Amino acid sequence: MSSSARPDDFPIVVEGLTTAFGDHVIHRDLDLKVRRGEILGVVGGSGTGKSVLMRSIIGLQPVEHGNIEVLGEAIVGEHADDEIDIRSRWGVLFQGGALFSTLTVAENIEVPLREFYPEISPALRREIARYKVMLSGLPDEAADKYPSELSGGMKKRAGLARALAMDPELLFLDEPTAGLDPIGAAAFDKLTRELQETLGNTVFLITHDLDTLYEICDRVAVLADKRVIAVGTIPELLALDHPWIQEYFNGPRGRAASAVRSRAKAMDKSADRGA
């Protein structure tokens, strides 16, 4: 890692990443640095490898070439150490929640606790699980329900509760609002921002939801042409002339999301003046 990319500043550093499925190259020479304490939105068209990038960072996806360092440790690359295990320092919400169907919500949350802290008593694990249920915005009784008894939005929150089980420094969210109605999506966005501000973690958030990008993301990384073509705030991205960026952010949905955000800011300013 270069001196300008200390883990304190950049808990995730990807350099020269190439991934492929057989002859089909997904990423080629991809670079990305994620700043500590930010919510980074990751966007891109279908097939650009957003989830593949996340899975590569957490060591679930083999890579062809490149280096990935997480929290100062080499995950892949010439300096990777197979004995290093920092999985307890991150949490992951996969698409759809990926809950174990035969376990209750509380038992799902206890899974990482059992793996990394087997010495913890069952009573303490249960207490931690119920606290994470509350932290995710679920009612207390949800702890004893099975995934099949939950709505789509509740499954997302249950998956988030499990991702938070270990008090992670890094939180990976893969399409967390996909399939939710606008009210449910907005509530999940608010929860994500509140948790980030309270816990101080760094959030790597894959999404196609423009409202999410405008509402809670500090910066946005754009995947296109098999690499990250730009990283910045939405105003910074809008200043670029790449056709996909312009089509995405200046299309009908992008303009609608921007207008909603502008109205919300105007209302906030009006309320401040009234106070």
One-letter amino acid of 162: R
Residue 88's closest CA among 49, 51, 122, 58? 58
The alpha carbon of residue 134 and the mean position of all alpha carbons in its chain are separated, in whole angstroms, by 20
The torsion defined by the Cα of 117, 53, 65 and 23, in degrees rounded to 10, comes to 130
Q: Are 19 and 49 in contact (CB under 8 A)?
A: yes
**What's the pLDDT score for residue 63?**
93
Q: CA 182, CA 273: separation in Å to the nearest integer?
A: 29
Q: CA 24, CA 49: separation in Å to the nearest integer?
A: 11
Q: Could you give the domains of the chain?
A: 12-274 (3.40.50.300)
**What's the pLDDT score for residue 39?**
98
Q: CA 15, CA 261: separation in Å to the nearest integer?
A: 34
Q: Which residue has the higher pLDDT, 173 or 80?
A: 173
Q: Which residue has the higher pLDDT, 205 or 253?
A: 205
- Please, which pLDDT band fits residue 250 given cuts at 50, 70 and 90? confident
Q: What is the pLDDT of residues 120-170, one digit of tens each?
A: 999 999 999 999 999 999 999 999 999 999 999 999 999 999 999 999 999
Give the Cβ contact number of residue 208 at 10 Å: 18
Asked which of 3-7, 37-41, 73-77, 97-101 is least confident by mean pLDDT, the reply is 3-7
Q: Which residue has the higher pLDDT, 263 or 43?
A: 43
Q: What is the pLDDT of residues 1-41, one digit of tens each?
A: 444 445 579 999 999 999 999 999 999 999 999 999 999 99
Q: Is the pLDDT of residue 266 over 60?
A: no
Q: Is the pLDDT of residue 93 over 90?
A: yes
What's the DSSP call for residue 96? T
Q: Tokens representing 186?
A: 């907005």
- Please, which pLDDT band fits residue 272 given cuts at 50, 70 and 90? low
In sequence order, what are the residues at sequence separation of 6 or more whose Cβ sits closer than 8 angstroms to the Cβ of residue 242?
A: 222, 224, 229, 230
**What's the pLDDT score for residue 2?**
45
pTM: 0.88
